[in-house]
A and B are shown apart, each in its own frame.
Chain A
Amino acid sequence: MNLARIHLILIVALLCAVFAGPAHAADLISKQSFGEKNEIILKFSVEVDKIKAAKISTYTVFEEQDPDIRLELASATPNYKGTGVSLRFKEPLNTAHTHVVTVKNLAGVDKASTKVSKSYLGYLFSIFISALLINNFVFTKYLGLCVFFGTSKRKSTAKGMGVVFTMVMVVSASMSWFFYNFILIPYNLNFLQIVVFIGLVSLTVQAVDTILRKVNPILFNSFGVYLVLVIANCVIIAVPLMLANNNYNYFETFMLALGAGGGFLLALYLMSSVSERMQLANIPPTFKGLPIAFIVAGQFAMAFLGFSGLQIF
């Protein structure tokens, strides 16, 4: 008896929820997405009054973390049928942040609001691509040049070095993230950043060395020599410092470290391919060795500038 009544109430409630749909505030906007740099596109579930929808004052938009700062709209253009609208802003939007759009007095609904954000996986992927190509650590951030010029003579060395770097980077960044969020921040020890991070990096290198020696001696024989070089290198220590600066969560940290390592591998591989060719070339004696390597790297850096406009999501 009692159970039946509960069922009845539940079913009624569900029905109410379903039928109330079109009139319900949250369902007025059926789809929302970022358009171009300064554009948000909304889709409505019903046809709306086009004149009302074209008014700027109908909409209020702000970033989720600063609700006090209203973003200024330049125009609102409804589409032909009146089932959608494209909002254009005076300034480009920071699409990495979540935006809240509120619609007032449209299609008989007092107020409807929705959140516009990029898909999280897309955001993670964009961090990866950014660290790999757009902000390549060697060619656009100029980090790790000592190792870069030292070990990019042969392809096999370059590959081994790049893999070891990626591995150490991911492990040390994960550990640094953990220490930063659970020890440095709670106890207000932020000023110890550098000491803690460099300690963790050396520790990781030492640990990778010991583990690899026991687990996979063949791999150790081919990689072991590079491990010593890894300790004093700015590429590795830069990743923890960056994640502390940007307050990344774990997944973001992981993608950043992976992208940075992959970018370093890519740079080493590209450079070693050129170096192998240069050994056969007739280079003027004044340019032999480092000078020509620098100039080749400069050309790569200019080529990588081309990635700066890349935006996938």
Chain B
Amino acid sequence: MANDKSSMQLVANGILKENPIFRLALSMCPAVGISTTVMNGFMLGIAVLFVQVFSSLTISMVKNLIHPRIRIPTYTLTIATWVTVIDMVLAAYLPEAYAKMGIFVKLIVAFAIITMRLEMFACKEPVGASFWDGLGMGLGFMIGMMTIGLVRELLGSGAILGYDVLGFKPLLFFILPSAGFFVVGLMMAFFNSIEIYYKRKKGFKS
């Protein structure tokens, strides 16, 4: 069990070992759909982080009161409540960013990663550990989104966070919506190749 892990290990686990986007390949829709800039990725990452942490906390607190047979509907409703909260907060305080993300903020309710963490982790572990796990998963998602956004923004419009870095536009193709599939696919292949390289190296040593 994860009880013996420290809080930092739990966070690192979410960011690296079980990164929601690159390792678990869950919640791909926003990764492809709105990762055109770093800022978009960051904003949606914040929203997901918020929902993940608070629903993990809520479920972890009331885990002994939930009847096992209705646990999935309970998770769904808990997530829906927190999504409503972040949806209204964003709409009120950051209307521009909210308009860019469109329907995806409301769709956080259907992201598989959140339900999965509640089912796998928060309903068994104590409140503290659930908080750190939720934080790690949320951060992992945010970093994944921002990495994709970085690649697409840099290659598509030659800028980072809206500032012109390269001075020219290398491949306008990457800013097109359909390029999201290619970028995610190529990045996954890149990480795979690193993994294969290290495994082969290890194999030769031993």
Query: A257 contacts the other chain (Cβ, under 8 Å)?
Result: no
Which residues of B176-191 are within 8 A (CB) of A? 176-182, 184-186, 188-190
Given contacts A194-B106, A198-B109, contact A290 B29 (CB under 8 A): no
Q: Contact check, A234 vs B107: say whether CB atoms are below 8 A apart.
A: yes
Q: Contact check, B178 vs A305: say whether CB atoms are below 8 A apart.
A: yes
Given contacts A142-B33, A145-B28, A286-B192, contact A194 B109 (CB under 8 A): yes
Q: Contact check, B81 vs A195: say whether CB atoms are below 8 A apart.
A: yes
A199, B77: Cα distance in complex, Å: 7
Among the interface residues A144, A194, A199, A302, which one has the most CB atoms of the partner chain B within 10 A? Answer: A194
Select the stretch in B7-15, B83-91, B156-164 that faces chain A: B83-91
Q: Contact check, B177 vs A301: say whether CB atoms are below 8 A apart.
A: yes
Shortest CB distance B196–A (Å): 6
Query: A133 contacts the other chain (Cβ, under 8 Å)?
Result: no
A218, B38: Cα distance in complex, Å: 49
| Set of chain B residues within 8 Å of A202, measured between Cβ atoms | 72-73, 76
Query: A35 contacts the other chain (Cβ, under 8 Å)?
Result: no
Interface string of A90-108 (1 = CB under 8 A from B): 0000000000000000000
| Set of chain B residues within 8 Å of A141, measured between Cβ atoms | 33
Query: A21 contacts the other chain (Cβ, under 8 Å)?
Result: no
Select the stretch in A2-10, A122-130, A237-245 that faces chain B: A237-245
| Set of chain A residues within 8 Å of B26, measured between Cβ atoms | 146
Q: Contact check, A290 vs B27: say whether CB atoms are below 8 A apart.
A: no
Given contacts A139-B178, A142-B32, A146-B27, contact A191 B107 (CB under 8 A): no
Select the stretch in A110-118, A273-281, A292-300 that faces chain B: A292-300
Query: A285 contacts the other chain (Cβ, under 8 Å)?
Result: yes
A195, B77: Cα distance in complex, Å: 6
Query: A232 contacts the other chain (Cβ, under 8 Å)?
Result: yes
Shortest CB distance A142–B (Å): 4
A145, B87: Cα distance in complex, Å: 22
Query: A140 contacts the other chain (Cβ, under 8 Å)?
Result: yes
Interface size class of chain A, counting residues whose CB lies under 8 Å from the partner chain: 35 or more
Q: Contact check, A143 vs B188: say whether CB atoms are below 8 A apart.
A: no
Q: Contact check, A149 vs B81: say whether CB atoms are below 8 A apart.
A: no
A149, B181: Cα distance in complex, Å: 12
| Set of chain B residues within 8 Å of A145, measured between Cβ atoms | 28-29, 32
A233, B33: Cα distance in complex, Å: 15
Complex: chain A residue closest to B197, CB-CB: A286
Q: Contact check, A286 vs B193: say whether CB atoms are below 8 A apart.
A: yes
Which residues of B82-128 are within 8 A (CB) of A? 83-84, 87-88, 103, 106-107, 109-112, 115
Residues of B within 8 A of A (CB): 25-30, 32-33, 72-73, 76-77, 80-81, 83-84, 87-88, 103, 106-107, 109-112, 115, 176-182, 184-186, 188-190, 192-193, 196
**What are some 20 contacts across the A-B interface (CB < 8 A)?**
A142-B30, A142-B32, A146-B25, A146-B27, A149-B25, A194-B83, A194-B84, A194-B106, A194-B109, A198-B76, A199-B76, A199-B80, A232-B112, A242-B103, A245-B103, A286-B193, A294-B185, A298-B179, A298-B182, A301-B178
Residues of A within 8 A of B (CB): 139-146, 149, 191-195, 198-199, 202, 231-234, 236-238, 241-242, 245, 285-288, 290-295, 297-298, 301-302, 304-305
The 8 closest A-B pairs by CB, nearest first: A294-B185, A298-B181, A301-B178, A142-B33, A291-B189, A145-B28, A234-B110, A286-B193
